[in-house]
Amino acid sequence: MSIETELKQILEELRRYFEFQKSLGLEGMILEKNLEREDHVKISIQEIPEPKTQASEDTISANVQLNIFDSRSKGLTLEEIREEIGDCTRCKLHEGRTNIVFGEGNPKARLVFVGEGPGRDEDLQGKPFVGRAGQLLSRIIDAMGLKRSDVYICNVVKCRPPSNRSPEPDEIGTCVQFLFKQLMAINPEIIVCLGSIAARSVLNTKVKLGDLRGKFHNYGTSKLMVTYHPAALLRNPGFKKPLWDDMQVVMNELGISRSGD
């Protein structure tokens, strides 16, 4: 690889990284020119051109997002990613957590489910989707002809937000790098984003959930389906059919046939 080609790749990764941070609400960044001097240079996010992520009006193709300053990211295992997180204090969510909820399942899963963050039961047990919404997700997975041990389940943020509120942009921006590394390590055929926060974080978009679901998008080499979070079904049973419609599209892509459907 020539130096010119390598520099172009670095600049492209920088552009994607800053654009992702912009989508989370970052307006600018201060970089020191010289550690022994007090003058700084400001990089304006607005000067970065808009990424061409749209494959069509309806389908989004998102680049794989990694910490571009960590050359080891592409080769990490799930165990190494968990070790990298450590006893994390990178954002304020650590202040109220009981356990970090990293994720669990098949490290070579063809199918990965991504939620937004742990709830009370998950925080207490240190496992994803074990409360009422998690029990419903388990039934959905069973209905697909799979087991929880066949898939991988994780969240955008690894610590429970207070009172189960939605994670804030700075919290997502700090923690989502570990989700991206998990997806890179597993390299699934299909990713299912449960709810709008998971979908917007992975696809780097502000498009509404209703406009995203029902069709495949792309995240790197993986196909990505957006659907309702199981917790939404507990509040509104009317979401059950559209979610199941989405799962049937996923099943068809995986080559899973269920008699009687």
Same-domain check for residues 188 and 122 = yes
Domain count, the chain: 2
Q: Which residue range forms the structural domain that includes residue 35?
A: 1-50
Domain match, 46 and 56 both: no
pLDDT tens track for 2-23? 666 556 656 665 665 555 555 5
Q: Would you call 59 helix, strand, or coil by DSSP?
A: coil
Query: Closest by alpha carbon to 112, among 70, 78, 62, 66?
Result: 78
Instruction: Tell me the average pLDDT across 192-207.
Output: 97
* Residues 41 and 128 reside in one and the same domain: no
Give the residue among 65, 60, 63, 62 at the shortest CA–CA distance from 207. 60
Does any domain span residue 41?
Answer: yes
State the Cα–Cα distance between residues 128 and 121, nearest whole angstrom.
9
89 and 186 together in one domain: yes
Q: Is residue 260 part of a domain?
A: no
114 belongs to a structural domain = yes
Residues 149 and 194 in one domain: yes
**pTM of model > 0.95:** no
Residue 226, phi then psi, degrees to nearest 5: -105, 135
Q: Which of the four pLDDT bands, split at 50, 70 and 90, describes residue 116? A: very high
Q: The domain that contains 165 carries what CATH number?
A: 3.40.470.10
- Asked if 180 and 116 sit in the same domain, the reply is yes
Residue 66 has pLDDT above 70, yes or no: no
Query: Quick one: 91 and 11 in the same domain?
Result: no
Q: Which of 11-20, 117-126, 207-216 has the lowest mean pLDDT?
A: 11-20
Residue 137 maps to a domain: yes
